Amino acid sequence: MNFTELSYKVIQGDLCTRCGLCIGICPANVIKLGRDNYPVLDGDCQECGLCVKSCPGAEADFQLLSRQVFQSDYLAEDIQGHLENMFVAHAADEDVRASGTSGGLITGLLIYLLENKIIDGAVVAGFNADAPCAIRGILATTPEEILNAGKSKYCISSSMDALQLLRGKKGRFVVVGLPCQVQGLRKAMAVNPALAKKIYSVFGLYCHCNMEPYVQLDILKNQNIKPSNIKRFNFRGGKWPGGFHVVGKDGNGHPLHNTLYTTILNVLFKIYGAPRCYLCVDALSEFADISFGDFWAQDYDGELSRYERCTIVSQRTTRGMEIMQNATENGAIISHRLPEKRYSKRIINMARGKKRRNQARIYRMHHNGQKTPKYNIPITKPGTKTRFNDLILRWTFLFRGPLARKLLLKLLFSPAAKTFERLNLYRKRKFCNYHGN
Ligand SMILES: Cc1cc2nc3c(=O)[nH]c(=O)nc-3n(C[C@H](O)[C@H](O)[C@H](O)COP(=O)(O)OP(=O)(O)OC[C@H]3O[C@@H](n4cnc5c(N)ncnc54)[C@H](O)[C@@H]3O)c2cc1C
Ligand code: SF4
Ligand code: SF4
Ligand code: SF4
């Protein structure tokens, strides 16, 4: 097993998620980030096979992963994966909460674990000081570094490359990643006991889809903003829930649109969505100790409708429970357990929709003789509605040319987008049973 095999099976087969794990795991340090974050060989491969065995691109056996992490079989009918509890929570410190995406919970938990010497650092997706649009994996070992790496980056970040920084380091670490990164990390932990020993916990993000790593540059170009004139590009900058936002060299923030960020994101996911994301069936980081997403209080009535600016949490393992409980008792986070009948319908629908749509694509592509990822779960013939949705999605790919992207970006970031947003909201309320809890 060597890089040539990885390249043939995964990268050339269009199955690479660009998670960065092969770079992080290669003991010879001969894999580097190439164009658009695809890995390339840069040196002599020692044929240890670690990259092939850990890569989640072509294969992530959910049965094996479930037995490894939960000591139980994977049940495909459990839409949210193995789940023990759900919480709605936020960082107790207002500055930490404001520096995060939803409730700043991940940032709050990491700082709590670090300050209490439970961990020695965390692998997170950080900003690159030299290139405001480039995201990179970093090993954060101080609360400042963790704070600075807060907020979601809705683009391919390949942040697992920072696992190479754990080599030769003593201590225990948390790794934060997207569902595909969590799958790869778990595979790597199974074949590399030295790495497994260092991982205190695996935090996963919910992930509906992700975008090409050059999306920020395209947006800035479309807005006539020179990357060299800004300090940072945020996908969720400004006042919560935030939106696409730049911070100038003077430290002042400027929003890039006057609509909800979700209006922009839903269109951008269609025209910049990474192809491999349309073959991905894990929306909720099903193999993490804890996974995190946006809690939308507007979906609820009663007491829960007051918990705006919070993170929704899927706690899956004993380690996950220990972290949530101890951080709450310590006062680092404020958390409330969600009763089972109040689990978020939005999250369940999102996960079910992603699974159905992408399984339909896998089914079609497999039957057309194209390469598809293997999850060792039943992939059944899709129904008419799912096939229709898949067809609509394929049509949206027609808008991926430079001219179509340019026009859509102009529209989305113009005042006219507000009208589009109102029409879309009307459509969702009228036809899509919007706001379900
Ligand atoms: C690509 C993407 C898609 C998402 N899709 C959904 C969704 O459909 N529904 C939903 O409810 N939530 C989704 N989320 C999660 C959501 O945006 C928040 O990250 C989550 O609610 C946690 O918020 P927080 O305030 O607790 O985290 P924060 O305190 O802001 O911490 C976020 C942590 O995640 C790390 N991180 C950020 N971006 C990336 C990245 N691209 N790759 C790896 N690590 C990263 C940061 O370094 C930081 O440590 C998505 C996140 C991403 C990155
Ligand atoms: S480990 Fe990740 S980045 Fe490397 S080839 Fe596999 S999917 Fe791509
Ligand atoms: S991980 Fe091993 S097999 Fe893969 S490129 Fe590095 S040396 Fe080669
Ligand atoms: S959609 Fe899947 S493959 Fe794409 S970034 Fe998210 S977890 Fe990874």
Q: 345 C-alpha to center of ligand 3: Å?
A: 43
Question: Does any ligand 1 atom lie closer than 6 A to the CB of residue 159?
Answer: yes
Average pLDDT of the chain to the nearest whole number: 95
Question: Does any ligand 3 atom lie closer than 6 A to the CB of residue 28?
Answer: yes
What size, in residues, is the chain?
Answer: 437
Beta bridge partner(s), residue 176: 203
Burial of 87 (0-12, 13-18, 19+ CB in 10 A): buried
Work out which ligand 2 atom sits closest to the CA atom of 11: 5
pLDDT digits (tens, 9 = 90+) for 159-193: 999 999 999 999 999 999 999 999 999 999 999 99
Q: Which ligand ends up closest to the CA of 49?
A: 3
The answer to whether the beta carbons of residues 291 and 283 sit under 8 Å apart is no
Provide the pLDDT confidence category of residue 343 given band limits of 50, 70 and 90. Answer: confident
42-80 burial: b if 16+ Cβ within 10 Å, else e: eeebeeeebbbbbbbbbbbbbeebbeebbeeebebeebb
Residue nearest to atom 5 of ligand 4 (CA): 210
Pairing of strands 310-315, 131-140: unpaired
Q: 432 C-alpha to center of ligand 4: Å?
A: 25
The predicted model gives 120-146 an average pLDDT of: 94
Q: Which ligand ends up closest to the CA of 93?
A: 1
Higher pLDDT, 79 or 131: 79
pLDDT above 70 coverage of the chain, percent: 99
Residue nearest to atom 6 of ligand 3 (CA): 26
The answer to whether the beta carbons of residues 322 and 116 sit under 8 Å apart is no
Cα of 359 vs its chain's centroid, Å: 19
Provide the pLDDT confidence category of residue 3 given band limits of 50, 70 and 90. Answer: very high
365 membership: H or E segment, kind and range: helix 345-367
The predicted model gives 136-155 an average pLDDT of: 97
pLDDT of residue 379: 93
Q: Which ligand ends up closest to the CA of 183?
A: 4
pLDDT at 341 over 80: yes
Could you tell which of 176, 282, 362 is best to mutate to test the pocket of ligand 4, judged by most ligand atoms within 8 Å of the CB?
A: 282
The answer to whether the beta carbons of residues 317 and 299 sit under 8 Å apart is no
Which parts of 116-161 fold into alpha helices (H)? 143-148
Question: Does any ligand 4 atom lie closer than 6 A to the CB of residue 276?
Answer: yes
pLDDT digits (tens, 9 = 90+) for 354-375: 999 999 999 999 999 999 999 9
pLDDT of residue 409: 96
Work out which ligand 1 atom sits closest to the CA atom of 347: 11
Question: Shortest CA distance to 9 belongs to which of 65, 42, 55, 45?
Answer: 55
Residue nearest to atom 1 of ligand 3 (CA): 26
Q: 44 C-alpha to center of ligand 3: Å?
A: 9
pLDDT of residue 436: 44
pLDDT digits (tens, 9 = 90+) for 256-306: 999 999 989 999 999 999 999 999 999 999 999 999 999 999 888 888 999
Residue nearest to atom 19 of ligand 1 (CA): 152
pLDDT of residue 433: 64
Question: Does any ligand 4 atom lie closer than 6 A to the CB of residue 91?
Answer: no
> Is the overall model pTM greater than 0.85, yes or no?
yes
Residue nearest to atom 2 of ligand 2 (CA): 19
The predicted model gives 92-107 an average pLDDT of: 97
Provide the pLDDT confidence category of residue 426 given band limits of 50, 70 and 90. Answer: confident
Residue nearest to atom 8 of ligand 4 (CA): 180
